[in-house]
């Protein structure tokens, strides 16, 4: 693979040293004119891509010989030409011979790669009379927009592609569950030939980021968010800067945030930046998980070293752990799972309650920098928790520990009652909270997702109700200032954002993930600018 070696050799990252893997970043270009393609090629080069995929099927008014020659001559990077028909997820809907003619031309005029679909590659080979060009590598591809087959079927598919004489095998499947990715990674890591293995869709994102760890030939990164040639593609900028793709290798440890939804989480920004700052060989990814038990069973290798858990998996996570910290056991929820490197056993703990309670205490004291005086400012206060899920349990437990009188308000009264009984508090339905003000100077803590992006206009209680509270906390941190917090401030209450809880709970998770002290100033800086 001379081209790959040439692209990789001596490439240095700014401030990063030499890249640690040979996986290429390919920018798919979907412009509808040659001029725009050329502009995008320059952008791809500037953004750090190794090659571009020219999607000929996106061009309007295409003059094959002239346009392909122009595109090859004016491209500052190696080129991959794809002319994808509608029947394989592309836009071309014409005569097959014309399509093959364009791909043949690309080979002759100096393309570095062409992509031909498995379904027609034998016909294409006959069409060109087996005349390959030494410089041009043929990628033979198969796209499955329905699902991800079994490992056995994937193995057979790869063998079929290899048998066509492909220089590079490409398989793209679709994730209906995040566990589907494991099968493609397994095929990729054991492949004896250069292979591109992608799992499309949000649940397949991990396949695109972990390519270098599992030996994938290339991964696709878009120039701009949302302009993708297949579902679930990240941007080149994110691959390079957020996920630090150039520095990933077979021994990189994988961490991530398990949730549903999960794309809003800023955890990958925080942890990846922190890993980079201390030179820790890890990568942290979004994990859109439907069934946490199934996820943890599938990704059981010690390479999958630790996870943060968010809504709705915190309570189910506890049942999946081999050992649980006593505090997390009392709360009944786990937000951090560590896989022991010695035996692969799972240890669960809860860092939510420390992060949130500390942030609320600091808010009551009026400063982040005043150390705990004797006793907690929460002692004796009436502390109302909205929500009876994992975060609600953590806040209720933490407030009780600090001597507060706890009230749980929840849409489902029975769940509120159940949690209240556990912590020795009172219960209300959420609707009853509107008329609940036995005293002034209470504390309110929202632990539900009400008001979270994109439903930013929602709030769990009316502005009128907020007048009875001295301090209001919202666990939601996207947006940073929710409608609840904005209206609480207008009603005269002190407010504490979910960002404060997020940073506080992240300190401990980082230390458990890495065994290193958390870079606290960096955490604050990263979250302030994200």
CA distance 486 to 257: 28
Q: Which residue has the tokens 């609320």?
A: 360
Q: Which residue has the tokens 């004797």?
A: 374
Residue 264 is a catalytic residue = no
- Name the active-site residue from 137, 213, 314, 400: 314
DSSP 304: E
CA distance 247 to 22: 10
Strands 304-309 and 336-339: antiparallel
CA distance 434 to 443: 14
Question: Which tokens in the block code for residue 291?
Answer: 């069934």
CA distance 249 to 447: 38
- Name the active-site residue from 40, 112, 137, 170: 170
CA distance 494 to 161: 63
Residue 314 CB neighbour total at 10 angstroms: 29
Residue 480 is a catalytic residue = no
List of residues 6+ apart from 326 with CB closer than 8 A: none
Element holding 184 (H helix, E strand): helix 180-190
Q: For residues 286, 291, 293 and 299, what is the CA-based torsion angle, rounded to 10 degrees?
A: -40
Q: Which residue has the tokens 């790669």?
A: 113
Residue 400 is a catalytic residue = no
Beta strands in 314-441, from DSSP E residues, in sequence order: 323-324, 336-339, 346-349, 382-386, 405-410, 426-429
Strands 17-18 and 12-13: antiparallel
CA distance 406 to 395: 9
Would you call 347 helix, strand, or coil by DSSP?
Answer: strand
- Name the active-site residue from 143, 213, 253, 400: 143
Residue 393 is a catalytic residue = no
CA distance 144 to 88: 8
Would you call 235 helix, strand, or coil by DSSP?
Answer: strand
CB 50 within 8 A of CB 80: no
In the sheet with 304-309, reading across from the earlier edge strand, the strands are 282-288, 253-259, 304-309, 336-339, 346-349, 323-324
- Name the active-site residue from 177, 352, 426, 474: 352
CB 44 within 8 A of CB 77: yes
List of residues 6+ apart from 447 with CB closer than 8 A: 385, 386, 387, 389, 391, 392, 394, 395, 475
- Over its C-alpha atoms, the chain yields an Rg (Å, rounded) of 27
Sequence-ordered alpha helix ranges (H) in 366-428: 390-401, 413-423
Q: Which residue has the tokens 């566990």?
A: 179
Question: Which tokens in the block code for residue 352?
Answer: 């939510």
Question: Which tokens in the block code for residue 381?
Answer: 């206060």
Mind telling me the catalytic residues?
Answer: 143, 170, 314, 352
């Amino acid at each position: 693979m001379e081209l790959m070696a040439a692209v990789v050799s001596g490439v240095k990252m700014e401030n990063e040293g030499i890249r640690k893997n040979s996986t290429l970043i390919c920018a798919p270009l979907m412009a509808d004119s040659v001029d725009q393609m050329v502009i995008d090629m320059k952008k791809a080069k500037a953004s750090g891509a190794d090659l571009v995929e020219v999607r000929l099927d996106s061009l309007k008014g295409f003059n094959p010989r002239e346009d392909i020659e122009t595109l090859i001559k004016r491209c500052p990077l190696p080129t991959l030409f794809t002319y994808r028909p509608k029947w394989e997820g592309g836009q071309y809907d014409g005569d097959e011979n014309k399509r093959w003619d364009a791909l043949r031309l690309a080979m002759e005029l100096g393309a570095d790669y062409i992509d031909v679909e498995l379904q027609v590659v034998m016909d294409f080979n006959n069409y060109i009379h087996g005349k390959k060009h030494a410089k041009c590598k043929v990628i033979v591809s198969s796209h499955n927009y329905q699902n991800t087959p079994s490992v056995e079927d994937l193995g057979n598919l790869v063998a079929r592609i290899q048998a066509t004489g492909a220089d590079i095998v490409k398989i793209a499947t679709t994730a209906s569950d995040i566990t589907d990715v494991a099968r493609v990674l397994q095929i990729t890591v054991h492949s004896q030939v250069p292979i591109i293995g992608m799992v499309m869709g949000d649940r397949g994102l991990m396949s695109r980021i972990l390519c270098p760890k599992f030996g994938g030939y290339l991964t696709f990164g878009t120039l701009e968010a949302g302009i993708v040639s297949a579902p679930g593609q990240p941007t080149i900028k994110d691959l390079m800067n957020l996920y630090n793709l150039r520095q990933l290798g077979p021994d990189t440890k994988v961490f991530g945030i398990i949730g549903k939804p999960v794309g809003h989480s800023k955890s990958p920004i925080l942890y990846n930046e922190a890993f980079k700052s201390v030179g820790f060989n890890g990568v942290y990814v979004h994990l859109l998980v439907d069934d946490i038990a199934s996820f943890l069973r599938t990704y059981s290798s010690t390479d999958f070293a630790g996870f943060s858990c968010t809504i709705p998996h915190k309570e189910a996570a506890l049942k999946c752990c081999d050992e649980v910290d006593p505090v997390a056991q009392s709360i009944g929820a786990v937000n951090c799972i560590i896989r022991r490197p010695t035996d692969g056993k799972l240890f669960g703990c809860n860092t939510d309650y420390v992060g949130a309670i500390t942030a609320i205490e600091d808010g009551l004291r009026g400063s982040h920098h005043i150390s705990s005086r004797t006793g907690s400012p929460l002692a004796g206060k009436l502390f109302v928790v909205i929500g009876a899920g994992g975060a609600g349990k953590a806040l209720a437990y933490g407030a009780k520990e600090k001597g507060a009188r706890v009230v749980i308000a929840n849409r489902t009264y029975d769940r509120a009652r159940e949690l209240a009984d556990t912590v020795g508090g009172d219960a209300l339905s959420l609707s009853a909270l509107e008329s609940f003000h036995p005293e002034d100077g209470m504390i309110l803590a929202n632990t539900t997702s009400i008001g979270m992006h994109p439903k930013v206009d929602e709030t769990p209680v009316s502005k009128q109700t907020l007048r009875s509270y001295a301090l209001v906390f919202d666990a939601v941190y996207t947006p940073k200032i929710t409608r609840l917090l904005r209206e609480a401030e207008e009603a005269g209450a002190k407010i504490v954002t979910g960002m404060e809880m997020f940073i506080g709970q992240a300190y401990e998770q980082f230390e458990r993930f890495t065994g290193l002290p958390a870079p606290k100033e960096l955490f604050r800086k990263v979250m302030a600018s994200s």
